[in-house]
Each structure stands twice: as structure tokens, then as C-alpha cells.
Amino acid sequence: MRTAPTPQLSTRRTEHPAPPPPAASLKGLDLVPWTEIQDSSGSAAAIPALLDTVARGDADAARDALHDLRGRICQYGFVVEQATAATVPFLWELAQRPQVACRAQIIQLLKSIADARQWESTAAVYPKLLNHRENHVVWERAARLAVHEGRGDLDRLLAEDDTEITRASGELARTLGE
């Protein structure tokens, strides 16, 4: 009677390609008290995960996360809450990373924040707005200042080969008076 052949176990080592290294985490992200500050949805606790998805996600996931982030920190072109200024340095860092899929959109978001003057304009007409416990004018100014503080990164962005990046960077530079 014949028996089925016994399979021989291979002694060869199979080579699997190494997974790509993860994107470096954003420096200082864990130092911001996200749960204690607000974005347009309430607690800003979701912002670190959104920034991480922008940093590490594929193109579609990164764009979706950036869209959600925009709604939380600069909704309809308004600086909506105190989390905006805290988020800006991380947006500057992401805009510098070549592996980030939506860099031009990040630069456009920075420009929107730098352009935001809705609360300040409203307070000029209704000064009582400045007396509220939640002072949107202060948050708006702090967010604009945070964008201005990152402007040293613009030269590198303006020198990129990607025309979408250079166009968005040029618009931001004009907004910042560079």
C-alpha cells in the first residue's frame, strides 16, 4: 500500500520585506494638555490622533483627518477655540515632512488661520465681547501669532520642486508680509 508523501519542512529562511519605519512622532505633542482645552466640538482630546493620522496616514486618511482637524480649529475661516494656537506648531512641522500627503492643504490651513480676524473685527464694533470669560479675540490673536512664529520654515517650502507646495507657501508668505 502506498502512503502519501510526508511533506518536508523547509529549512530555508523566507525573506519578508521590512515594514517601512513609522513616521517620527510629533515633538511635544504629549506636552499639550489637550483634554483641558477646547476645540469646536468640546474637548480637544481628539486633536493628537488627527495630527498623528495626518503624519502617518495614507493620502485619503491624511486628507480626511486634516478636514476634521480644520473643522475643529478653523471652522468656516474662524479661529473657533483655544486649541488652534496649540495646534499650529504641529501643522508647521507636518508641512515640512516630505512624506505627509496633504502638505499643501496644511499650508492653506495655516494661511486661513493667519488671515482670521473675524472675532477681532466683531470686538471693534462690540467691545463687550472682550469681557467674556471665553475670549475668542485672544484665541484668534494667539493663533495668528503662532503662525507668524513658524514663518522661518517658509524659505524651505518656497524652494520645493512641488508647484502646489510653492504656490500655497507663496500665498502664506504674502499673508504674513514676507
* DSSP labels, 90-152: HHHHHHH-TT-TTHHHHHHHHHHHHH--HHHHHHHH-GGGGGSSS-HHHHHHHHHHHHHHTGG
Query: Is the pLDDT reported for residue 118 higher than 80?
Result: no
What is the predicted pLDDT for the residue at 15? 53
What is the predicted pLDDT for the residue at 19? 39
Give the CATH number of domain 33-175: 1.25.40
Query: Is the pLDDT reported for residue 130 higher than 60?
Result: yes
How many Cβ atoms from other residues are within 10 Å of residue 71's Cβ? 14
In the chain, the DSSP E strands lie at: 38-39, 42-43
Residue predicted with more confidence, 48 or 12: 48
Query: Is the pLDDT reported for residue 11 higher than 60?
Result: no
SS3 content of the chain, % helix, strand, coil (to 5): 65, 0, 35
Average pLDDT, the chain: 84
Query: Is the pLDDT reported for residue 115 higher than 60?
Result: yes
Query: Is the pLDDT reported for residue 124 higher than 50?
Result: yes
CA–CA separation, 160 vs 19, rounded Å? 28
Domain ranges of the chain: 33-175
**For the chain, what's the residue count?**
178
Three-class secondary structure of residue 39 per DSSP: strand
Per-residue pLDDT reduced to its tens digit, 139-160: 888 999 999 999 999 999 999 9
Per-residue pLDDT reduced to its tens digit, 83-108: 999 999 999 999 999 999 999 999 99
Cβ within 8 Å of residue 59, ≥6 positions away: 101, 102
What is the predicted pLDDT for the residue at 87? 97
What is the predicted pLDDT for the residue at 9? 54
Per-residue pLDDT reduced to its tens digit, 18-77: 433 444 578 899 999 999 998 988 899 999 999 999 999 899 999 999 999 999 999 877
What is the predicted pLDDT for the residue at 16? 46
